[in-house]
Amino acid sequence: MTLIKSISGIRGTIGGRVDDNLTPIDAVKFAAAYGTWLKQQRQKDNYIVVVGRDARISGEMIQNLVMNTLVGLGIHVIDLGLSTTPTVEIAVPLEQADGGIILTASHNPKEWNALKLLNAKGEFLNGAEGQKILEIAESNTMNFAEVDDLGKITINDAYIDIHIDEVLDLELVNVNAIKDANFKVVVDGVNSTGGIAIPLLLERLGVEPVKLYCDPTGHFPHNPEPLKEHLGDLAKAVVKEHADFGIVVDPDVDRLAFMDETGEMFGEEYTLVACADYVLSKTPGNTVSNMSSTRALRDVTEKHGGTYEASAVGEVNVVTLMKKNNVVIGGEGNGGIIYPNSHYGRDALVGVALFLSLLAEKKMKVSELRASYPNYFMSKKKIQLTPGLDVDGILSTMESNYSKEKLTTIDGVKIDFADSWVHLRKSNTEPIIRIYTEAPSQNAADTLADRFIAEIKTIANI
């Protein structure tokens, strides 16, 4: 069982001992630290925080703890109930709130939950802000409101519909072309809130949704990370239903992957590539993704006359570089689309609408679209961390061993070879070392990953 405290929030498994897991006491402590930090920053009479959750089993319990802790601090809460991460992100500025909290552990299994923290723009906190909240949590200096100054909870369950309205109003979303295409799409909502939001969006776009695991019970029918090895049922459904393609999202709907009409994965790395191709064809400019993302985005960006740059892993790092470079679209290779004309957050609803617009205008099958892009293959592997494992020392040794290659060390160690690369880094969200590789073939990518895993184990004596 695990509790991970980081600058991006607090994430852990439900049950167990205080400070070792995400227990009710831990949820209250970190919600109180966030509320205290918010009041220190804003210095005003009334404070508002938007709170929403994915459908995981512990969500209602954790949300009630968090909301009532904020009430105890004198902060008013807008309760979105079952929602998505991007929905909460757009709600914060629309409500003129001071911040937001999403209760979700993203792609982690059902025993996990987390507090994702937003600022007044509806964007994730930066490193310094996250560090300050961790310090407040450990200091136990939170000062709660007196009885006449308690906050109030207001329920607003309209925001998924509002979010869809915002998506349909985007200039590049070609609603008429999508409706004319008469698409049929299978949706795997992993029994979370994507099963609510994505079919509603498709229906508004005139697309026939075939629902698979769209009941928001929180009982995930398979590993909720949207990877090929978890999506056998979706592949069968796409073929059986003679659908144009399949859609799968993670539990909080900020990651998006497609499956072509034959039941083959489009590749989550290529979600951003395809959406960027469409946006860049209409509004030429620059792009950003993180260091663990495919080179194909660079290739597509340069094809349209733009410039590509990579950031450290983590949405806040991607967003920071996107703003600096004034990019037209960016995101993460894990299926995260960040479209500034909507908001600075990964948004599967925006990604679906842009992808459908591209497909409707090109009038081609999804498999044909995928074949039109540069062909790279990735391997994504990991090593479980054990107590006493010196990750920094391992990465430092790797950096030294490959000093003659092109290295980037802003986030772990990335080694660029002529026709491939490997990125080694400690995860922000799980107790693991990630080993990502990319090469001209799947076998080459897997072989490269296995080689580096063996080297790490030799260095660490494991």
Write out the catalytic residue numbers: 106
User: In angstroms, what CA-CA distances link 224 with 45, 213, 290, 336, 426?
Assistant: 41, 11, 22, 15, 21
Contacts of 439 (CB under 8 A, 6+ apart): 376, 377, 379, 419, 420, 445, 448
Longest dimension (CA), the chain: 66
What are the φ/ψ torsions at residue 2 (nearest 5 degrees)? -145, 145
User: How many other CB atoms sit within 10 Å of the CB of residue 406?
Assistant: 11
Check if the beta carbon of residue 294 is closer than 8 Å to that of residue 300.
Answer: no
461: which 2 tokens? Answer: 């004596």
Taken in order 270, 273, 276, 277, the sign of the CA dihedral is negative
Q: Give the pairing of strands 184-188 and 9-13.
A: unpaired
User: In angstroms, what CA-CA distances link 436 with 299, 377, 380?
Assistant: 19, 11, 5
Length of the chain: 462
Residue (of 83, 76, 48, 243) closest to 153 by Cα position: 76
User: In angstroms, what CA-CA distances link 121 with 73, 89, 97, 371, 397?
Assistant: 21, 8, 9, 38, 40
Dihedral, CA of residue 173, residue 176, residue 177 and residue 182, to nearest 10: 120
The DSSP H or E segment spanning 338 is strand 336-338
Burial of 461 (0-12, 13-18, 19+ CB in 10 A): exposed
Residue position matching structure tokens 């034959």: 262
Q: What is the spatial distance between Cα 74 and Cα 154, in angstroms, rounded to a whole number?
A: 14
What are the φ/ψ torsions at residue 179 (nearest 5 degrees)? -60, -40
What are the DSSP calls for 402-459, one per residue?
Answer: TTTSEEE-SSSEEEE-SS-EEEEEE-SSSSEEEEEEEESSHHHHHHHHHHHHHHHHHH
Please measure the distance between the N-terminal and C-terminal CA atoms of the chain and give it in whole angstroms.
22
Q: What is the spatial distance between Cα 145 and Cα 75, in angstroms, rounded to a whole number?
A: 9
Strands (E), 165-284: 184-188, 208-212, 245-249, 256-259
